[in-house]
Amino acid sequence: MNVTCIIRYQIDPFQREAFQEYADNWGRIIPRCGGHLIGYFLPHEGTNDVAWGLIAFDSLASYEAYRARLRTDPEARDNFGMAQTKRLILREERNFVQAVDRTLGVPAIVVPQA
């Protein structure tokens, strides 16, 4: 995957479960529409109103094709509609990044303490 879309959500912290349902739904929809879902992330500790979604694509052109498929996917439209009706997303922003290959997925090295 050459490009990753990082979506930063400002969510209503009192609707965490509704956002989790929204994210769970994307787990079915995104792969079907052509995105490589890296994952959705809910606030755990610290700021309680910021969540993230990461989706990878081969190119910006494949991202645009994915967006076109989302617009015609009934479950995707329903998921967008649910988020709007419940007003669980207060703000959303997208950034596109490229991974530095030798830094992606590097496992931790545990050094024994003396």
* 25 in any annotated domain: yes
Q: What pLDDT is attached to residue 102?
A: 87
* 79 in any annotated domain: yes
CATH of the domain at 81: 3.30.70.100
Q: What is the pLDDT of residues 4-46, one digit of tens each?
A: 999 999 999 999 999 999 999 999 999 999 999 999 999 999 8
Q: What is the pLDDT of residues 40-93, one digit of tens each?
A: 999 999 899 999 999 999 999 999 999 999 999 999 999 999 999 999 999 999
54: left (phi over 0), alpha (psi -120 to 50) or beta: beta
* 114 in any annotated domain: no
Parent domain of 81 = 3-99
Q: What is the DSSP letter of 47?
A: -
- Locate 3 and state its tokens: 């490009």
Q: Does pLDDT of 1 surpass 70?
A: no
* 107 in any annotated domain: no
* 104 in any annotated domain: no
* 66 in any annotated domain: yes
What's this model's pTM, rounded to 2 decimal places?
Answer: 0.87
The total domain count for the chain is 1
* 68 in any annotated domain: yes
Question: What residues have CB less than 8 Å from 40, skipping those under 6 apart?
Answer: 23, 26, 27, 51, 52, 53, 54
* 41 in any annotated domain: yes
- The burial of 56, by beta-carbon neighbours within 10 Å (0-12 exposed, 13-18 middle, 19 or more buried), is given as middle
